Amino acid sequence: MEKKNAKNEYEIDERLQYVDPISEIVKRAEKEGHFDHLPGKGKPLKLRNDYMNPEEKQLYKTMKDNHILPKWIELANEIDALKKELFRSESKERKKKVKRINKKIKEYNYLCPPSLQRNRIEN
């Protein structure tokens, strides 16, 4: 009898669970096929980046057209390559590589967008 009470103590009563009404409406409409015949279904989205200021937009377009990566992307690639090498390293060499990687991560974090920042690695 104690086991049954302990189990019920941690279960959430279905009546208390939050149900997002909008999500429920969308799910029901999907099941009923309301989205099956929309114009453009299966075609790629035409995404706009109007959120960028015109100078920044032009800069990124020019860089892309000339196959130039921003410095923070180059650093991300270097960090990833160094991390792969790290697994094959001996302990003394490993410590040096960890220091080098963390230095690059610090530089990367100063340059990249905040949402893409990385954590330092430990030995």
- 74: in domain: yes
Domain assignment present for residue 58? The answer is yes
User: Does residue 105 belong to any structural domain of this protein?
Assistant: yes
- For residue 76, what are the domain limits? 54-116
Q: Model confidence at 72, in pLDDT bands (50, 70, 90)?
A: confident
What is the model's pLDDT at position 107?
A: 94
Q: In this structure, are residues 121 and 98 in contact, taking their beta carbons and an 8 Å threshold?
A: yes
* Residue 32: inside a domain: no
CA dist 36 and 94 (Å) reads: 55
Structural tokens at position 102: 């963390």
Q: Does residue 103 belong to any structural domain of this protein?
A: yes
Tens of pLDDT, residues 28-57: 999 999 988 888 888 888 777 666 777 777
What is the number of domains present in the chain?
Answer: 1
Instruction: Please check whether residue 26 lies inside any domain of the structure.
Output: no
pLDDT digits (tens, 9 = 90+) for 8-33: 555 555 566 677 788 889 999 999 99
Q: Would you say 101 and 121 are in contact if contact means Cβ atoms under 8 Å apart? A: yes
Query: Residue 5 domain-assigned?
Result: no
